[in-house]
Amino acid sequence: MKRLFHVLYGEPWWHLVALLASFALCGYALAQLLAGDWWGVVQWAVGAAVIHDLVAVPLYGSADWLLHRAVRAGRPRSPRRIAVVNHIRIPAFVSLILLLVYWPLISMDSSAQFRTATLLDPGVFRSRWLAVTGVLFGLSGLHLAFRLWRDRDDSKPTT
Amino acid sequence: MKASPARRPGPWRSPLRGPWLTSVFGAVLLVGIPVLFLTGLLSYAAYNPDLSHVNDKTPGKGLLGFYLFSWPTHPYWLYRVNQGVHVTLGIVLVPVLLAKLWSVVPKLFTLPPVRSAGHALERLSLLLLVGGGLFEFATGILNVQLDYIFPGSFYPLHFYGAWVFFGAVLAHVALKLPAAVKALRSRDLRAELRTPTSRTRPEPFDATGLVPPDPAAPTISRRGALGMVGLGSIALLVVTAGQSIGGPLRRTALLAPHGRSPGTGPGGFPVNKPAAAAHIRPQDVGPDWRLTVSGVGGSVRLSLVDLQRMAQRRSALPIACVEGWSTNDQHWEGVRLRDLAALVGHTEDPPGVFVESVQLAGSFRAVALSAGQVRDGRSLLALRVNDAPLTPDHGYPARVIVPAAPGVMNTKWVGRLTFGATDFPGRA
């Protein structure tokens, strides 16, 4: 019996039980979630997964790859060049994460609503993000300069 | 019998991908997401949705409201902390969520796309997991920045979406926890945190589909990758948390919506629905303003001077918004709700009250407060804050302030209090 189930289903029985229990809960909530603008919700949820997996991941993956190519510029890989890549990659990652999360404020997408509701100036976020980005790259650059100076006599620095 | 995994070269070559790294991110989310879910459910309960339809933005909740309880007034900072944790933690987990998704992206392109009926169902569940998760994070992050571009009202979208997401999380944890525990035990975290890029090796190739068949040379260590994700989370924490902590730290919340106060002086603390935004007309709150108080003993109409002649009490209470920001304790002064109840015949054990603003339209222009909220001696119809009359934006001439209640439950520009009612007069 168990063997037959495995042949037909491809997974053990508790796999099916767990998924059916989950689908029951998800389905119950989904019925309410889709009770309003269901097409809008489907576009948002499926769209978010598709855009993340098929656009965002390949995009930042390629950008990272291009960064490597640009830093190496055809020369063989060395710990020093990898260090340069990482001292660009890490502040860029942090800066882009801040941009992603605070995009509505930084892009001023909701600036009229923001000003009406909070009585605050919506124009400050772009310059603040740029300043934070500048500080991140500045600190990273200083750290890199220190590392290169420390390892200046060492032809093969250990990173 | 398990076939040995095929070593098909693919585009995913990062030598860091593997069950251990995925499980580390998964373990962080396994703690974080239940905290988000629980604080979210508590926040919903804080509105006392079962008390009145005006409090309930998700009337179709059915069984999903099984856990609701009458929201307490102790400790007075309960909602402030709950919502600060909910919003700040959600924002701080974004890099971890994205890293987790990055680590498993090769699985999206596994071949064949469907191995069996079980595999097909699991992939469907993963669509609910990823789609539901991104939907929850996106709606929450947009809402706290007042960017209402999502398809519908925030409350039902975020509440029902949370249940869909959490249902999928439960299945995912049930199916993957044993493998994750095994993967976490396969490497020593502390040893990993001492391993530089030059000594970083791929995880052993296995059937999980996470380890690349032809890994590239490492350009960052696992320590470096974890550190990068952690740095992203710390950066988000630093530019966000101040709006919930307040005081001098508010200004550190450089990118958070409420990292500043709109003014100085007694009424300078943050606001999210000023008088102009609520379309409060000067004649509605001018010298002709009267407060109508009703109860079993009949109705009275009180002017501001009448209210000022009643016993004035003081409460130090914060304003805490569903959007996560909050103020420090403000010093409110006014008439206790239970003294107003006594005025209209509820001398002992007053019931709940239906509070209406003079605001003519808009969400939460009326709310129902519970008996417990009315009976708390710190619940006021405040006339003054920080030793000055209320400013128009903070509800002049009179506003409700209740301990531990969400910001919108503290109705501003109050025009009518009906004790024992849970709906507009004539609709009860």
Q: In chain A, where are the structural domains located?
A: 1-33, 37-75, 77-159
Residues 6+ apart with CB under 8 A from B312: B333, B334, B335, B383
| Topology (CATH level 3) of domain B282-419 | Sulfite Oxidase; Chain A, domain 2 (3.90.420)
- CA distances from residue B208 to A12, A78, B71, B125, B182 in whole angstroms, order as listed: 17, 32, 46, 18, 12
Query: If you count residue pairs, one on A and one on B, with CB atoms under 8 Å apart, how many are there?
Result: 218
Q: Does A93 touch chain B (CB under 8 A)?
A: yes
Q: Which amino acid is at A48?
A: A
Predicted pLDDT of residue B3: 44
Q: Which DSSP string do the residues of chain A spell out, in sequence order?
A: -HHHHHHHHSS-HHHHHHHHHHHHHHHHHHHHHTTSSHHHHHHHHHHHHHIIIIIIHHHHHHHHHHHHHHHHTTSPP-HHHHHHHHHHHHHHHHHHHHHHHTHHHHTTTTHHHHHHHH-S-TTHHHHHHHHHHHHHHHHHHHHHHHHHHHTTT-SS---
Query: Which residues of chain A are within 8 Å of residue B235 when distances are taken between CB atoms?
Result: 94, 97-98, 132, 136
pLDDT of residue B85: 98
Alpha helices in B187-283 (DSSP H): 189-192, 222-240, 242-245
Q: B94 vs A21: CB contact, 8 Å cut-off? A: no
pLDDT at B105: 94
Among A119, A128, A137, the residue to mutate for chain B (most B Cβ within 10 A): A119
- pLDDT at position B293 is 98
Interchain CB contact of A98 with B (< 8 Å): yes
Count of all residues that appear for chain A in the document: 159
- Is B155 at the interface with chain A, CB within 8 A? no
- What is the dihedral sign for C-alpha A15, A17, A21, A26? positive
Judge whether A127 is closer than 8 Å to chain B, CB to CB. Answer: no
Positions in chain A short of pLDDT 70:
153-159
Residue A157, chain B, CB below 8 Å: the answer is no
What are the backbone dihedrals phi and psi of residue B164, each rounded to the nearest 5 degrees, phi first? -60, -50
Which of B128, B255, B262 is opposite residue A105, by nearest beta carbon?
B255
Would you kindly state where each structural domain of chain B is located, as residue ranges? Answer: 19-250, 282-419
How far off is chain A from B249, nearest CA to CA, in Å? 16
Residue with the two structure tokens 């997991």:
B129
**B10 CB within 8 Å of a chain A CB:** no
Q: Which amino acid is at A154?
A: D
Judge if the upstream peptide bond of residue B397 is cis by omega within 30 degrees of 0. yes
pTM of the entire predicted model: 0.95
Q: End-to-end distance of chain B based on CA atoms, in angstroms? A: 67
How large is the ipTM? 0.95
Supply the pLDDT for residue A157: 47
Query: Which residues in chain B show pLDDT less than 70?
Result: 1-9, 427-428
Proportion of chain B in helix, strand, coil states, percent, rounded to 5: 45, 10, 45
Q: Name the average pLDDT for chain A.
A: 93
